[in-house]
């Protein structure tokens, strides 16, 4: 080819890449437009009472803790959490700290690292699929993941799942670079991200094993395989060891919390689960169904199956086979390692791999279909997007973006208004939705925790503040409270709602708030 031909080809490739990046920015803009309102307007939930406050105490004191959770039962998930939190590694809390230094304290501020991690994850999914099948595959994968429920919940709540998953996706792409170039610097960089992932959440072991096994299989010479695997392991451990000084300062709390929260719920030993993961398949499939919904679960399943069939063709590329191996490896490790653990958020990593595969398949199918019938291709594309609309939170989003005088759809503002009308004196028990705001207001407050879940001794109280969740669990009845006031419309399930109780023995002799 002549120099002029090479230049023309380079211009075409650069132009294709430019429009692809432009469309990726559109996808990220849509993600922001539909998810930022949830970050700003949702009441606390999904264990945020456990994962948002420690970032604030890191910013103020340097130590992550939950000041309103004085658990002392030895089986408590958060034993001595008011002194230091070790139920999970502290990576999220240190990511939150700069935001708390710059923004007002509250649940929304604790969510920003997760939202930004979600945006980075969309780009990483784009890059993963693009390497397999080109720009359109990357865009479809990014769009599917950006609108998915596996990302929705993980990226809009103050939980460590999404930052952890984003580290994993980045590490996988860096190992991919090593597979393509053979340069060990990519292994070291991948190890650093694996260590950061471990500092966010123990479910990082899923992609640590995935990256480790892959690294062992890449090089032709056994010595280079061992060198690469050793570098990956050592870098991961060095970064993860940044947690060690905090552990040594609070050994008792660490030993109780980490065992009770991480090791015990998963079930039998890890070796048993790795060798025989089948008992946990149905459980993990049910968690995915509950998290993603029927349509999106079906989309992921079909995408993985079709991608697998494509990978078995003679014409399949090594990149296609790599992606399929990563997807199935991720599914196996998630099932085996998590076992019967009840948390659904861990699917934000494996779901990203599955949707990357779905994006690759969809781009290929649409490309072939377009040559036969552009109308049919457009119909399929619209149909796939339509699968993402149900249960995407559009109704709640609309309520949040349209202002109301009573802040019924603005969770943080609603909580502030409730707290402002409550007495300054007395001991409070509060549901997760309101406990952080009460503590920020200087109230003497303890988290109302479910004894079955958290093994917290019953605390005496003067005021009990409950949400819809507390009412469903009949907390006022269990704690022998008598209603003295309610806030918000009870008959609107999308609106914020709170009830305030006093113990029955004092309700008739004390003034209402």
Domain assignment of residue 38, yes or no: yes
Count the Cβ atoms, other than its own, within 10 Å of residue 317: 13
Domain assignment of residue 330, yes or no: yes
Query: What is the pLDDT at residue 70?
Result: 87
Same domain, 309 and 426: no
Domain assignment of residue 96, yes or no: yes
Same domain, 350 and 440: no
Given 345, 364, 395, the domain boundary residue is 395
Name which of 10-19, 252-261, 287-296, 399-408 the model is least confident about. Answer: 10-19
14: pLDDT confidence band, cut at 50, 70 and 90? Answer: low
268: pLDDT confidence band, cut at 50, 70 and 90? Answer: low
User: For residue 487, what is the enclosing H or E element?
Assistant: strand 481-487
Domain assignment of residue 512, yes or no: no
pLDDT in tens, 446-470: 998 765 444 455 678 999 999 999 9
Residue 138 phi/psi, 5-degree rounding, is -60, -40
What average pLDDT does this structure show over 204-225?
93
pLDDT in tens, 111-143: 999 999 999 999 999 999 999 999 999 999 999
Same domain, 229 and 262: yes
Taking the alpha carbons of 267, 271, 272, 273 in that order, is the dihedral positive or negative?
positive
Domain assignment of residue 406, yes or no: no
Same domain, 358 and 421: no
Domain assignment of residue 403, yes or no: no
Same domain, 102 and 156: yes
Entry pTM: 0.92
Domain assignment of residue 357, yes or no: yes
Taking the alpha carbons of 429, 55, 346, 80 in that order, is the dihedral positive or negative?
negative
10: pLDDT confidence band, cut at 50, 70 and 90? Answer: very low
Who has greater pLDDT, 259 or 146? 146
Given 339, 365, 395, the domain boundary residue is 395
Query: What is the pLDDT at residue 314?
Result: 86
What average pLDDT does this structure show over 486-513?
83
Average pLDDT, the chain: 90
Q: CB within 8 A of 33, min separation 6: which ones?
A: none
Domain assignment of residue 300, yes or no: yes
pLDDT in tens, 219-263: 788 999 999 999 999 999 999 999 999 999 999 889 888 887 766
Range of the domain at 482: 411-507
Same domain, 381 and 442: no
Same domain, 374 and 440: no
Given 395, 423, 450, the domain boundary residue is 395
Q: CB within 8 A of 273, min separation 6: which ones?
A: 266, 267, 280, 336, 337, 339
Query: What is the pLDDT at residue 438?
Result: 97
Inform me whether the pLDDT recorded for 297 exceeds 70: yes
Same domain, 420 and 300: no
Inform me whether the pLDDT recorded for 2 exceeds 60: no
Are 98 and 91 a contacting pair, CB within 8 Å? no
Query: What is the pLDDT at residue 76?
Result: 80
Number of domains in the chain: 2
């Amino acid at each position: 080819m002549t120099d002029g031909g090479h230049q023309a080809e380079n211009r075409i490739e650069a132009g294709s890449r430019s429009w692809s990046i432009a469309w990726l920015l559109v996808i990220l803009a849509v993600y922001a437009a539909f998810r930022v309102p949830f970050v700003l307007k949702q009441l606390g939930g999904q264990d945020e009472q456990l994962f948002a406050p420690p970032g604030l105490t890191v910013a103020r004191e340097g130590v992550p803790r939950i000041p309103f959770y004085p658990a002392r039962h030895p089986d408590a998930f958060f034993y001595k959490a008011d002194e230091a939190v070790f139920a999970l590694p502290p990576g999220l809390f240190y990511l939150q700290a700069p935001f708390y230094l710059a923004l007002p304290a509250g649940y929304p501020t604790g969510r920003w690292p997760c939202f930004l991690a979600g945006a980075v994850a969309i780009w990483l999914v784009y890059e993963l699929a693009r390497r397999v099948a080109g720009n359109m595959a990357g865009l479809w994968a990014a769009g599917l993941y950006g609108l998915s429920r596996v990302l929705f919940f993980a990226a809009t709540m103050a939980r460590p799942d999404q930052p952890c998953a984003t580290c994993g996706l980045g590490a996988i792409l860096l190992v991919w670079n090593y597979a393509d170039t053979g340069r060990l610097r990519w292994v070291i960089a991948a190890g650093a991200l694996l260590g950061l992932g471990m500092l966010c959440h123990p479910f990082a072991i899923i992609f640590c094993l995935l990256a480790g096994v892959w690294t062992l299989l890449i090089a032709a010479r056994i010595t280079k395989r061992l060198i690469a695997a050793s570098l990956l392991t050592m870098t991961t451990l060095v970064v993860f060891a940044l947690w060690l000084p905090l552990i040594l300062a609070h050994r008792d709390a660490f030993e109780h919390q980490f065992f009770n929260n991480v090791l015990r719920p998963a079930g039998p030993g890890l070796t048993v689960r790795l060798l025989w993961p089948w008992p946990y398949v149905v459980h993990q499939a049910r968690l995915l169904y509950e998290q993603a919904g029927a349509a999106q679960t079906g989309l992921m399943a079909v995408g993985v199956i079709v991608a697998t069939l494509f990978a078995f063709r003679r014409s399949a590329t090594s990149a296609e086979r790599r992606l399929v191996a990563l997807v199935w490896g991720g599914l196996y490790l998630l099932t085996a390692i998590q076992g019967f653990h009840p948390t659904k958020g861990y699917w934000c990593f494996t779901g990203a791999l599955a949707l990357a595969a779905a994006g690759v398949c969809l781009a290929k199918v649409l490309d072939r279909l377009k040559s036969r019938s552009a109308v049919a291709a457009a119909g399929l594309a619209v149909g796939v997007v339509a699968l993402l609309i149900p249960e995407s939170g559009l109704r709640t989003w609309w309520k949040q973006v349209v202002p109301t005088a009573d802040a019924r759809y603005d969770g943080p503002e609603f909580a502030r208004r409730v707290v402002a009308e409550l007495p300054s004196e007395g001991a409070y028990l509060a549901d997760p939705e309101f406990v952080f705001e009460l503590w920020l207001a200087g109230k003497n407050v303890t988290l109302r925790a479910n004894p079955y879940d958290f093994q917290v001794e019953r605390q005496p109280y003067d005021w009990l503040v409950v949400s819809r969740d507390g009412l469903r669990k009949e907390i006022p009845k269990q704690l022998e409270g008598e209603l003295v006031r309610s806030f918000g419309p009870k008959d609107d399930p999308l609106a914020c709602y709170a009830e305030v109780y006093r113990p029955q023995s004092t309700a008739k002799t004390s003034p209402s708030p």
